[in-house]
Structure 1
């Protein structure tokens, strides 16, 4: 078509579409549904009847106006008219625009995804009517997408892309590659896009596991149908790269393995391996190795599994790729614990292909790369056993191939013998027997290459992995095992004598453990008779003798129905139902924050202090979260010793991570909206933490070691002790050495404990109190109780600071604070005032206090104490004043003597 003709056709088509859209809008205003149906039917006529117009009009319609028409249908027709349509009208004038027979599925899905992506609604700015219209449009868009996917639209897209790729490959035109990448991105992002719009109402067809499984199955189905014979498939390459980047490579591998059963799949797989981008090599091989295979299969039957048949089809062009070899050696073999020897066997077979000459195969380069790491001195010590076992199997199976191909010259040329001997020596000097056995196995395989006449034999017990998983298997035997399953008795007997296929060393260890530990219940064959009386446990012993003859006779005609069952253990301790002890701090936090699981919360609370005492590495990072969880924890289950356990856990985390927890604990203690008990618990936890750090006070208990010498003397007789004392030579008068000086661990954090509480409470009082009240009458009972605990905590901090440089400043601040509360009407507060004075006098001499505070305050303290002892109405205050007066008198006397 000429440019002028095309321009005229486009203008006519644009006028036609605009006229039909205006007609639909006007019909909606008149509430004329039949007229709107007629206009929509005319709007779809270029798609339904392309023969009635010019041949190019449908292509122009799809290329230039289809996306605009779809947007009009979803945003206007679906909102205002679609609910009024009958089923027949809906199919003819609405769903027909997305029918795979009329519109290519790639066009329909691309237009729907673009329209759905553009539907963004702001709930804060939009009105209720706009929000409802927005939901209706999304519902219709998702419904149409689900209909296309369920009808096989994705497979149509795959087929269309592959056909277009073959045509462009022959013609040399690659201009549409960007369009294919956009379409692949839209298909891959469809589940996330629909979930963002629908949330919990997302259809099951767009759940990631189901959707991507359908996507990959349709991709391989189209690849098999097309019978691609090119060396690279760009469509598969783009899909693999996209699925790997969004974390769905494992589904691609699963679909790939499911497609192995077709007859013409072998050439496709080689082309697909070559089409993989380098970024996908590691993930594809790793997911192939993770595929589970039944352990009841023998080696020959396992090699016929699609997992290994796919690996065997890795082409030589990919094996010689240096990046592919690096991935196998350094990303998988030397790093990942892939416990599957057959996986490495098939990979070695694929790498050994080189036109018949093993010396020219990629296996030589990879073997040298792996051997260089295996022969390092620290490899046997620092490498995981599973990884080491896989590497040793790789080396031994490769050496077996070298021995069969007369590779002695290659080994001498590459200087492999020296490296192998060094690696064998390092492994044999290891402390673990299992690692020494690996080195011995490699030494035996090396001897078969360099000294095949007299190979080494260390007499190792157990099964040799190379002898089991490295046995030669012909391709004809693989096909026979795959197509003809062994069902007769002879094949079953052969299968039982053959070593079962296992996933590496862990299964071999499990077999050895089962051989060492006999089963508790012997499995007896029995015939399952529905009319037989089932005996109880008490009658089982008596019935065993009676049924002995029937068991022997049942080995005849009814042997096909015999089965071996292990007795069910009825004495279940229900250990699997109990909550597990938290092993990490994140488990502890999760248990403390659990709302509905009582056992989990109680176990976490009981194990909190024990786990914290281990001082995990992430304690400083998780300390605030632990304190927050403990403070917010409520005793809703009436747990035994709940308060004690929570207080101990709070004190422990505060003592172990004071710099991280103190800011939050001080803020919670001064939080007015917090419960009084929680505020008091925080103060008590801080006090216990201070006493633990300073190793003094009632919160710290010094471990008492048993005095063995005194116990021995007590148990011995008086005569024996006298003789021992006469024979003992004493060279000095000091019996015990002086105790070594200890550093006060609380001293560096004393101000962090003391200052935020004291000055924070002063600001708290100024903010919430009215006027100045020295008697405390305006305070509530709750505030008076909290003040008493606050004074006790501050006094304890001053005592625990000891002889730190900041102790004098703390004592002065505490003295001024408690002195201001001496006339408080609450007896608890007055008791703590006296306790605070005693702590100040304990750490600061009276002369120094008189020098620092002035004579006026010093002269007022003693008369007030005397007045309190005589006239205070509370007996506890009078007793505390008496003790404090005796303390001050003793200090004055000692000072006068000095």
Structure 2
């Protein structure tokens, strides 16, 4: 018995692996018949001929066994020839089982004789090859009830452990479970497993968005296939799924995850008996949300177009046959009849008033203190709007006055609320706060960074502080030339005589000399830009270091290292930007050391946006710190950092995190090579 099993295994290996064995011997001289494409097609046709002979033998009253044929099919699929085999086998099986009950029995028996170790490969290839649940049901029958391995693959592995299949595969799989009353309990079982996976907060945090989208599609599709009595039996499961799943999805910092939670929550509430309390969210529709909504609709087979083509109105009909050509003028004539009685002034073209500006009742303030008083004491919506709109320009023009009231002005703007529903409120308030931070950076940055960890602020205000700090640092780091300042100052003066952008006399003389000069060797066409001071470098420490204190002290309304990971992700992005802008600054080395110490404890955070912010900070450190300081100050940490980055680049579930980790590794390698081999980088 053992010898026969061993001989059968050897025979199966030789029979299925014949293309590989032949190619090893003949190499480039392998005949086309032994190539995998032709050989697998021939193998599939041979299996079909064996099945045809089996059907004839059964009709003749003979007993047959399909054990060896099933093993051949399983072995071929396990060796990676699934698509090639079922490309020929699936359409023929679908055609034979459409009208022949004996073929259905033979096909199901073939699947039952496949060993368990090869069942997954066969079922996967067959589900992907057939064109609908009806076809799959005819070919494999109730194998899901008879074979535990097939049941595990169809009801668990396809739905929860894999996520690369197309929507049509999900429709085929779940539709197969819903085709027969004996298989419908497995559909309800799959729904419960999907609800449990979808509402698991750990799965939401540690799986990719693509896998969560796949599970959501499977959940909605299985829910749409259940009958009303079956949905009634699953009310408690659906309610628990909706409550816990909605919470963990809406708590996510990833917009795609939140949208998935909204769509699935709405769909579940529509199928439950809560007609008076259905969920409804406002979100922007994208391809993912449309796919989630479309998958619940039944897949209808579009009928063939009728052979009789419709009459084309644009074609020229025969005279006297088509009366529709004369019907349109009648309503137009009838409609034109009363227009003749109207006044002739209605025929005039209306004046285009789209570019007209609405005249404001109150004029904007001319002085900074008047603007501040208007924001503090005025109850007039138009005056408040005018003061807020003029604040940016007043702050930048009245620099001396701004330095006197910068902190007070920042406090007023930070606590200001949109009481009058001004559409540009957030924009103008942010512009004014950025102007204050740029004009008087040290006091304003100290105030914002101190208030960031204070009590009695909501998350929106803390995010506003970080945005203002980041925008102000960006503006301070940009080079500002005296020419642009002079131009902006002169533009405020109204010229007495009209001018057409007169060129400077020096520019005119240089252009004349350039046009009459004959050059034998062309050098730089323009002079190099003049060096201008970086206004951010002297104040970088005031922006950066206060944000690194008090982060580990949880407060009543603010837990940065706990539930408020949305603010933590924004804080990391801001710190990374501040670090990047401090390149070549004297304080860059101290900033880099402090930033790496801060983010090292967050490198394994459960939220992917926080991990992404950590990697951005590491990239900023490698970019901003001099390579010499990087090697001297952080030599002990570079080995651990490199090992961690390599692990993230291979195992992190988020694609952006993996890409950032690879970039960090490249930057670290470049910095070390630049310092260790300076001659190669000259």
TM-score (norm 1): 0.31
Instruction: Using structure 2 for the length normalisation, give the TM-score.
Output: 0.40
